[in-house]
Amino acid sequence: MGRLPALFGAVVLTACAPAPPPTPAAPKDETKETWYSETERELAAQNRQAAQLWKSGKEDDAAKLIQDGEQLSAKLLAVRNPTLAAMQDASDLDDMYGRMLLSNRNYGWARLFFQKNAARWRVWQPRTADTAARLKAAQSGIEECDRSIVQ
């Protein structure tokens, strides 16, 4: 008879224990979402269009597209592990903006965009010939800004 109250007490105490914590869900890969690939394509298209406008002497129109592209770039790079294509599109945008600012003698701002690219490609893994070339181009842009600032 003494066992029944003890068993009942154990059941009651077990029922009062806190629920186990929920198992954390694995983070979803946003780069596999439809919006991500659509945004990549949109940014790449804007980059191409801005480059054409800039080459044809329509700097103001190109600048507008570049500024619009910054929002797309930020959206792409805000995910946990952005794709190489997104990084390249963001890099192309920053390089173009840096070159445009350099041509307008906004050396400090231009340097900032080249520095973003240098930081981006300095840490990117795996290293490829393309990422090394992009890092070198960014470093050259920084050097060009530094030379122009001194003059």
Report the alpha-carbon angle 106-109-110, nearest 5: 75
- Domain assignment present for residue 67? The answer is yes
Residue 126: what are its φ and ψ, rounded to 5°?
-80, 150
Q: Which residue has the tokens 């059941």?
A: 11
- Domain assignment present for residue 9? The answer is no
- Domain assignment present for residue 57? The answer is yes
Give the residue numbers spanning the domain of 57. Answer: 34-150
- Domain assignment present for residue 92? The answer is yes
Task: Output the pTM of the full model.
Answer: 0.80
- Domain assignment present for residue 21? The answer is no
- Domain assignment present for residue 5? The answer is no
Position 98: which residue type? G
Q: In a structure prediction context, what are the per-residue pLDDT tens digits for the chain, which is 151 residues long?
A: 566 666 566 655 565 667 677 777 778 899 999 999 999 999 999 999 999 999 999 999 999 999 999 999 999 999 999 999 999 999 999 999 999 999 999 999 999 999 999 999 999 999 999 999 999 999 999 999 999 988 7
Q: Residue 109: which CATH number?
A: 1.25.40
**How many domains would you assign to the chain?**
1
